[in-house]
Every structure is written in C-alpha cells, then in structure tokens.
Structure 1
Amino acid sequence: MTLPASPEHFSYTADGVVYTASRFHRDAARGRVLLMPDWEGMNSGWAQEIGRLYSQTCDAEVIVTDHYGQHRPHPGFDEAAYINQQLYRDTERSRSIFRGMVAALQAHWQASGPLVVVGFCSGGAFSFETGRSGAAVDAVFCVHGDPRTIDPIDQPGDYPVFTVVHGEIDPFVPQSSLDAFAEEMRAHRIRWNLHIISDAKHSFTRFDNRRSGYGIAYSKRAEIETRHLVAAQILSLIEANATR
C-alpha cells in the first residue's frame, strides 16, 4: 500500500468564519475521514502525522481541521481550554459550528463513500456533538474523549453510528460519562459501540507524548487498534449500503 503524498493545505468558509484544513488524498479511496484533533488543533506535527496514518490504514481520503479558525493557528493551552469549555456548555452553538463545517467541506472532498468523523480528547467530544447535530455524516468516533453531553438526544432520528474508544485506565473519563452516553443511545435505539482497550491510559494516541505518568501515556498497540476500528467501520458501512 502506497503512502499518501504530502498534505494539501486549503481554507474554507463556514457561516462567515474562515477555517484551515489539510487533505491527504488517495487514488480510489474507499471512504472519507474527517479528523478533529485534540486541544492543539490541526497544525501540530502529531495532527498532521495522524492524518497521514489514517489515510494509509483506512485507505481513505482524510481531511484534518479544527474549530479555532484561520486567525488562531496555534492556540495556547489556556486559550484552547477556555474556547472549548464555552463550546461544551453551549451545545446549540457548538452543534451549529460543526454542522456548518461539515456542510462547507462537502465541496472540498475529492473522494466519495462513507464519511466518518474521528475526534481525539476534546475533538472526540466535538465529534459526538457533530453526530448529535444532524450533520450529514455516517459515523462518529470519540477517542480518549468524554462522550457525555449536557444536552442528550431527546428524540428518535436518523443518527450516525456512535463509537467510543476508551482506555481502560484513563482516569480523566469517568465511568459515569460512559454510563450516561450508553443511556442516551439506548433511549432512542441509536447504533453505538463502546470499545475499551486494556491497560491504555488517557491520550494513548499521542505518540509524541513525552509525559508518561499518572493517567497519561502513549500506547502503540491502542493507537494502531483504533485506526483499524475506523477502517472496519468504513468497510461495514460500504457493505451495509451495498445490500440496501
């Protein structure tokens, strides 16, 4: 399998805000993956490398983007935390933002096939808010993020598949969050999965993480397993669509 070429960088506008993105293109890609990185946003070296890896493993076109906007390419930790906390608390606004981003990116995809949103940490929470927003996506993944929302889905609808990928010994995502998510999904018979990876801590996909200590550590096994879960979801969606 050939590696994706260097990413193509572009900008796009959603609801009057200009955002930046990186695209990893593959010839004859079988699906599309929209990556929402953690608090550092799309311009970190890790975010760009994870985009390349997902394109390779999933045989998919990958777009990496974030919600900070073109005017804020490298937010600091405190700034990012403030922005993200505001979005956590205002789900109407956050869902509008991410629904608008998905709609604006429709014109930029070069591949077709299932569209899967994969988010990490805070990006995982926002991936799930995208799924709750009514955006035109087929599946959403929350990877070492908190799947719980302050505004759960309250009516049946045509929702994507929701998948949580959780590290067994991640102390920052409590069992109560997983339970609340499961209850939300069961209440309206929404398709969902909970994948718990043994011995994995928080931020287990961050292969650039040099802070291996309480609650946080990179796990090569967990990171690879997560990519293959996303690849399997794309294949499952393709097969399901073919039998309709």
Structure 2
Amino acid sequence: MKIVFPLLSSLLLAPTSWAELVKKTISYHDGDTQFDGVLVFDDSLKDPAPAILMVPNWMGVTEASIEKAGQVAGQDRVVFVADMYGAGVRPQNAQEAGQQAGKVRADRDLMRRRANLALETLLAQKAPLDKSRTAAIGFCFGGGTVLELGRSGADLDAIVSFHGDLVSPTLERDADKMKGSVLVLHGAADPFVPQEDVTAFEQAMLTTEVDWQLVQFSNTVHSFTDPEAKMEGKAEYNETTAKRAFRYMDDLFASIFEK
C-alpha cells in the first residue's frame, strides 16, 4: 500500500516532563563481543507495557538517541536502544559512523544476528514490559536494520522505519517472512534512498500477505526526524514531517496494542 498525499498536522513527541526516566545500561554478549544497550522507561510505569526495540541512526548509542527513546517511551512503553557496533565503539563523526554502519550493512547475517540479540535482551529484562506486545523501530541505518530484522522472521507485532534503507540482498526472497504490521516513513526527495529503491521495496512487498504501509512525505529528504541533520538538500530535519511521522507510529501502535 502506498500513500502519497498531504497529511494533517499532528503533535511531535512531547518532552518527558513527568516522573523520573529510568535509563539503565544493559550489557549483553555475542560470543566474545560485548554490547551496551540502554533500557528506557518512566519509573511510574506499573502495568506491563509494550516492549519497543529501537535501533538508532549510524551514530549508534548516543545521548541524543537515548533522549529520543525517552520520548518514544513516554509513560506507557518500555524502549531498549540497541547497540549494533559493540561496547566502546562510539563513532565521533560521520566518517567513523559510515565505517561502522558499512561493516554491518555488508554482512546481513551479522546485522540480523545483532538485532535479534538486542530483541532477546529486551524481552529478558525484568522491567514492566509485556512480551506479547512487541515492536521494533529504527532511524536511517536503524530503519534499514529493523526491516532486516523483520526479514529474518522475528516475532514482532510491528516494525517502523523512519527514513531507513529499503534495499536488501535478499529483499525479494525474504519479504514474506515479515510478521506483524510494517510501516515505512520516507522522504519523497531522499537522495540516499531514491525512488528506485522505493519501487523495488514496493514490488517485493506486493508479492506478500504482509500488512504494510509506505508513507512518502513531500519536500522531505533524509534524516527528517534528526534535529542535528544539516546537509542542505540531502539530510535535513523537517519539523512538520517529523510530527506527522511520529503520529503515524503512534496510530499504528494504538491500533495493535490497545485493542
């Protein structure tokens, strides 16, 4: 399903101004490699809440990604920020981020394994989370990662990609392995994920029975949810699109988690 039309205005995720936000570093391992993710939820949360895996952009686990996780968590979700590079591997600039993201992109088995490991780590926590209500969201590199996680057959209720990569070496073969609802939020003028990639993704998804949506936003390029993105005409924050995109995510979660 493809949606390309002007959207109604909506509210961006509000700053977390309520009870104290729990931000707990969780270490986990893949063989000898240690990873340090961050579990985020409001400490007033008592009842089991949806468990959301969040894969950040190519900068990895940063203060900005943890803050975004807090906004996604709000008062009624538990979010785990996945570490896709390994403990201590924290890019300091775009060049370093590109190198680390490139290594993971080049090995899709590695990408899938690390994403699945992060999901397993989230679900193993004793936080007030509901293992029967799960989702994975990602931004840029992370958006492509959660789609790849879905193609691995991960048991998720929802997958949401914000300005993520849409291509995959096994796109056509593995598209039908995706479970739950898939929501792709894309800038129609994104030069890093061009319309050829969008078309290839659509064609692959049309061969499946997956519940999916692709939303394209006009006058929007890459990284539209990132206030730090300032590559004019290539990767730029777009406040209006960001508000609309997060509302799409919230609406999807409401439809599947609040029945």
**TM-score between the two structures when normalised by the length of structure 2:** 0.82
1:196 aligns with 2:216: yes
Aligned mates of 1:158, 1:170 — CA distance in 2: 24
Q: Which runs of 4+ in 1 moved over 4 A?
A: 155-158
Aligned mates of 1:163, 1:74 — CA distance in 2: 28
Structure 2 unaligned regions, length at least 5: 1-15
1:183 aligns with 2:203: yes
Aligned mates of 1:169, 1:29 — CA distance in 2: 40
Aligned mates of 1:48, 1:88 — CA distance in 2: 22
Secondary structure at the aligned position of 1:114 is classed as strand
Corresponding residue to 2:186 among 163, 166, 181 = 166
| Structure 1 residue 221: Cα displacement | 1.6
| Structure 1 residue 205: Cα displacement | 0.7
Structure 1 unaligned regions, length at least 5: none
| Structure 1 residue 157: Cα displacement | 4.3
**Alignment length (residue pairs):** 237
Name whichever structure is richer in helix by fraction: 1
Name whichever structure is richer in strand by fraction: 2
2:4 is matched with none
> For residues 15 and 2 of structure 1, do their structure 2 counterparts lie closer, same or farther at Cα, with a shift above 3 Å needed?
same
2:71 is matched with 53
- Matched-pair identity in %: 24
Q: Which has the higher contact order (CA 8 A, sep 6+)?
A: 2
For residues 49-88 of structure 1, the aligned pairs below 5 Å read 49-56=67-74, 59-74=76-91, 76-88=93-105
> For residues 76 and 59 of structure 1, do their structure 2 counterparts lie closer, same or farther at Cα, with a shift above 3 Å needed?
same
Aligned mates of 1:224, 1:215 — CA distance in 2: 19
| Counterpart contact for 2:151–2:178, Cα < 8 Å | no
| Structure 1 residue 76: Cα displacement | 4.2
**TM-score between the two structures when normalised by the length of structure 1:** 0.86
**Aligned residue identity for 2:60:** G
- Alpha carbon RMSD of aligned pairs, Å? 2.3
**Aligned residue identity for 1:227:** F
Aligned mates of 2:17, 2:190 — CA distance in 1: 34
Aligned mates of 2:150, 2:177 — CA distance in 1: 11
